[in-house]
Amino acid sequence: MALASLNNQDMISIGTKIGVLLSLIKLKITRTVIFTAFLGYYLAADVASGGLDILNCGIMLFATACVCGGVCTFNHVLEWESDIKMSRTKNRPIPSKMITPLQATMFGSVLVCLGLVIMWQVFSLILALGALATGILYDFIYTPLKRISAWNTTVGALPGALPVLGGSVAAADAITPATLLVFLIVFLWQHPHFYAIAWVYKDDYLKAGYKMISSNDKTGKLTFGSSLICTVLLIFISILLPYYHARLGGYYHIANILLAFWFLNEVFRAYRHTVTRSAHRVITGSVIYLILWISIVITDDLFFS
């Protein structure tokens, strides 16, 4: 009985530790980065060699996940004192004392170093340096900028979109016109997503001293008006993609237009009715949009080209 109890406790402890580590790497962000890096690799591989090298792609995605997870972990370390003040983040691993800042720093360092070394040795020094620059931009420019300027979301969208170009460089040693358009799409996509989050948690951000677009926006028109502009630009660029990636055709055009106008309607609804429910719909809708849009691109390329 004692042994069984000990084993159960060990299992609970291991499960808790895994949960803490997954929380540190911000699994949702890392997952999105993996998806977009894959799309960059996939489109560039079409141009470079006419086929997808599954092993190389898997190695690239693993290395990307390591760097992204490490960078996100450093973000926890840099912001834990602010996280305590916010109901949305007060239960994160460091504020809740499930791990110390030093332990988190060591974990993040291992992940970043592992990812960068893999990128350097398997692909190129350029790819590794690009990933390092992306991490620096996120942790040491975007993160402190949150206390200085509401433009932090736009600056933060750059490292959020750069993995697309990293995937392209890994596949083709170059940035193709199509992957550059995808970079712009992912860059713009982040604005309605994070602006909606900023609106929902406006009071939380104010407590932490962060300057967001929603901070002095009493009506929500600035927040969701800006989201509308970015969404319209996103749709326009997404329509251009087949002209720079010839394997996309009629299926993409039709599915993309239907999906784009559905998402535009969600953002417009939030602009008209600036309530928390509408903002939540934009947050959820933006995630659905990105997943379905990537699926449309790959489906058309695989089965309809």
pLDDT at 240 over 60: yes
Percent composition of the chain: helix, strand, coil (DSSP 3-state, to 5): 80, 0, 20
Nearest Cα to 237, choosing from 262, 256, 265, 258?
256
Classify residue 23: in a domain, yes or no.
Answer: yes
Classify residue 183: in a domain, yes or no.
Answer: yes
User: Model confidence at 2, in pLDDT bands (50, 70, 90)?
Assistant: very low
Domain, as residue range, for 297: 176-305
Residue 137 sits in the same domain as residue 180: no
How many structural domains are present in the chain?
Answer: 2
User: Model confidence at 7, in pLDDT bands (50, 70, 90)?
Assistant: low
CATH of the domain at 79: 1.10.357.140
Instruction: Encode pLDDT of 260-272 as tens digits.
Output: 999 999 999 999 9
Instruction: Encode pLDDT of 169-217 as tens digits.
Output: 999 999 999 999 999 999 999 999 999 999 999 999 999 999 999 998 9
- Do 2 and 10 form a contact (C-beta atoms < 8 A)? no
Residue 218 sits in the same domain as residue 184: yes
Q: Which of the listed residues 140, 155, 174 is the one where a domain comes to its end? A: 174
Residue 80 sits in the same domain as residue 159: yes
Residue 125 sits in the same domain as residue 209: no
pTM of the model: 0.93
